[in-house]
Structure 1
Amino acid sequence: MKIAVLPGDGIGPEIVAEAVKVLQRLEADQAAGLRFELEFADVGGTAYTNHGHPLPEATLALAKQADAVLFGAVGDPRFDALERHLRPEQAILGLRKNLGLFANLRPAILYGELAAASSLKPEVVAGLDILIVRELTGDIYFGQPRGRRPSPDGAFAGAPEAFDTMRYSRPEIERIAHVAFQAARTRKAAGHAGKVTSVDKANVLETFQFWKDVVIEVHAQYPDIALEHMYVDNAAMQLVKAPKKFDVIVTGNMFGDILSDEAAMLTGSIGMLPSASLDANGKGLYEPSHGSAPDIGGKGVANPLATILSAAMMLRYSLRQPEAAARIEQAVQAVLRQGLRTADIAEPGAQTVGTATMGDAVVAALG
């Protein structure tokens, strides 16, 4: 199983290193029969520094050849002055586009051991287990035209306005709706509600009235799954008021970006949230939901659990190794049960451990 490993910027190399240790521990267990070919490449600001572009051709070629991509994080304020197409963040957008990654799955699960770390009262959030399905290739992030209208003297620095276009096509909405309904069906078999909440802004935006109409059409193929519609502002409110009322949330690129980060804080820390970005055949890119956190990069204090759990998702969705995925998830829960905490999930006054110690603990818990 060939895995492209793209650590990236900031804390990316540190957290990816811990996920790699976990994969290597699984590989060392001969009874599991797992063999990984890990190939590393630069991406983001690191790639710009070393190669002059955030997504070098060699990195993109590796990602295309691999069975899955394990990604760290990109971004650093040092590169903010670059032209937009050269900034580190363009690497992840380029990978999504070139690999056809249209479905972003972000589970938000509150482990019982972290109930006190959530920003909500335990009675509101205890037992939380929801899935956010975010469309990745359309919406305002990719809509054309976009740009700035120059000032009369032709300068963009003093431009009087800027514009981005929100756009969705029918096939884009149909395929993400199918992903959401199929996920809800799988979750229903495991005891969940079997409900999809489609989040839009159909009362204001024509794009999302279209979204709503198409989702309703697709829903006709899933009579066993309940469908409700919710405006994005209400969804943001309900996520902190009554988050357990949700099962699967499906929404567009921008709304999904925002709501999934909000949901992260329900779990105690965004450092606990893994994610999968999948193409039509199940090949995917796996990354923690958080950013590169350059302010703590190199300090050895970042939480690696979201990246380790992303590796578990990689085993489940792209590499078709559900038993190995479950072993990692159980090991993470065991470590939390032991009381180990990085700073982001620690209760006030609790003793904390660093990135490598947390990763070593997960490796040990694998047995």
Structure 2
Amino acid sequence: MTKSLLILPGDGIGPEVTAEAIKVVNWLREHRGFDVEISQDLLGGASIDATGVPLTDAALDKAKAADAVLMGAVGGPKWVGQPYDKRPEAGLLRLRKDLDLFANLRPAICFPALADSSSLKREFVEGLDLLFVRELTGGVYFGTPRGIENLPNGERRGINTQVYTTSEIHRVARVAFDLAAKRRNKVTSAEKHNVMESGLLWKEEVQKLHDADYASVELEHMLADNCAMQLVKNPKQFDVILTDNLFGDILSDQAAMLTGSLGMLPSASLGAKDAATGKQASLYEPIHGSAPDIAGKGVANPCATILSLAMCLRFSFGRGEDADKLEAAVAQTLADGIRTADIWLDGCTRVGTSEMGDAILERLAA
């Protein structure tokens, strides 16, 4: 049965990096029997410019109907100053919320060839392989009340609400425990139970679920600020890090720099599987952002997007072997010293976005 993949290139370098992923998909269609139809639509600033909104209802319907969605990036200085519900990022938040993509998977893997590109010494990051499981549709980004209000004394007050329920915590924690059981069998749950009631609830409910259903998986609780310190001090102590929406956003970006570059980090956002059909809403994206300062220059690193495609092959299309081959092709390209500017070192060959994609494709075909 033919599968469907929706591409949302977005803004900035998004169209450039997704173009390289499309080249890989077309190669898989031709040489590996990957029966998939590709369609595209607008998201973020590109959608605002064309339609007045960051995500149209029609594009959202396409995303709901697709077997998987692969996006580039959203945002840029052109749209700064817009109301929050009209900014490019609002389109992405709506996509996550309406598809109920509650579990965000962000691996932080340091490829051997990039150990010297990390901000830490080689011995701290060589062999690093950790996975963030971030709750994505709750917490302070979606809680109410929220907004900015004028006070009688002439001051202004900004309000955001951090809120979680038992079911929201349990469903994302299950994802973390299930994945840890297939890895090194350890989950670190990061929150701020010492100063936040929502953090205390998070800790208590994660512990309850663990004791009831996952006692064979090692669980430790760690304050989020200590987790940030430990990521720099001893990152290889972690296997799976389970966090809420806000802390997951911050900590996973910190971990990204341990790997050498934000341009290397993929992500997957998953919903619940439909009980009747088995279909699972999914969105795959690099975590590097739109990088407007280099957009259109052909120098962006497409690896994170191509690795996001590998996650898509594994989780949404059941093509684990192809995912393994694609990840190996990225690793071999790096080992051969072919680099974009963000990960370039003396002695390596500096290439642009398209050349990097071609190099990976060449090794995939070898």
* Same topology, TM > 0.5: yes
The Cα of 1:186 is off from its aligned counterpart by: 1.1
The question of whether the paired residues in 1 share the 8 Å contact of 2:4 and 2:68 is answered with yes
* Aligned pairs (5 A) from 1:183-332: 183-187=179-183, 192=184, 194-220=185-211, 221-281=213-273, 282-332=280-330
Aligned to 1:66: 66
Between 298-307 and 329-338, the greater mean CA deviation after superposition: 329-338
The question of whether the paired residues in 1 share the 8 Å contact of 2:338 and 2:348 is answered with no
- Could you tell me which amino acid in structure 1 is paired with residue 174 of structure 2? H
CA distances 1:131-179 after superposition (whole Å, capped 9, x unpaired): 00000011100010011221449xxxx6421111110011000001100
The Cα of 1:297 is off from its aligned counterpart by: 0.5
The Cα of 1:223 is off from its aligned counterpart by: 1.6
Aligned to 1:41: 41
The question of whether the paired residues in 2 share the 8 Å contact of 1:272 and 1:306 is answered with yes
- Could you tell me which amino acid in structure 2 is paired with residue 176 of structure 1? V
The Cα of 1:298 is off from its aligned counterpart by: 0.4
1:19 aligns with 2:21: yes
C-alpha distance in 1 between matches for 2:22 and 2:126: 31
CA distances 1:29-64 after superposition (whole Å, capped 9, x unpaired): 0xx221110000011000000011000111101101
C-alpha distance in 2 between matches for 1:307 and 1:159: 44
SS class of match (2:7): strand
The question of whether the paired residues in 2 share the 8 Å contact of 1:138 and 1:167 is answered with yes
C-alpha distance in 2 between matches for 1:94 and 1:269: 28
C-alpha distance in 2 between matches for 1:101 and 1:124: 33
The question of whether the paired residues in 2 share the 8 Å contact of 1:148 and 1:159 is answered with no
CA RMSD in angstroms comes to 1.1
- Could you tell me which amino acid in structure 1 is paired with residue 170 of structure 2? E
Uncovered stretches (5+) of structure 2, i.e. residues with no partner: 274-279
Aligned residues: 356
The Cα of 1:351 is off from its aligned counterpart by: 3.7
- Could you tell me which amino acid in structure 1 is paired with residue 342 of structure 2? D
- Could you tell me which amino acid in structure 2 is paired with residue 48 of structure 1? I
The Cα of 1:26 is off from its aligned counterpart by: 1.0
The question of whether the paired residues in 1 share the 8 Å contact of 2:16 and 2:298 is answered with yes
Identity across the alignment (%): 55
C-alpha distance in 1 between matches for 2:121 and 2:79: 39
Deviating above 3 A after TM superposition, structure 1's stretches of 4 or more consecutive aligned residues are 348-351
The Cα of 1:283 is off from its aligned counterpart by: 2.8
If the length of structure 1 is used for normalisation, what is the TM-score? 0.95
The Cα of 1:338 is off from its aligned counterpart by: 1.1
- Could you tell me which amino acid in structure 1 is paired with residue 318 of structure 2? R
C-alpha distance in 1 between matches for 2:84 and 2:297: 29
- Could you tell me which amino acid in structure 2 is paired with residue 169 of structure 1? T
SS class of match (1:274): coil
Uncovered stretches (5+) of structure 1, i.e. residues with no partner: none
C-alpha distance in 2 between matches for 1:339 and 1:350: 5
SS class of match (2:272): coil
- Could you tell me which amino acid in structure 2 is paired with residue 216 of structure 1? Q
Aligned to 2:276: none
SS class of match (2:308): helix
Aligned to 1:119: 119
The question of whether the paired residues in 2 share the 8 Å contact of 1:106 and 1:132 is answered with yes
C-alpha distance in 1 between matches for 2:150 and 2:314: 49
Aligned to 1:341: 339
Aligned to 1:170: 166
SS class of match (1:38): strand
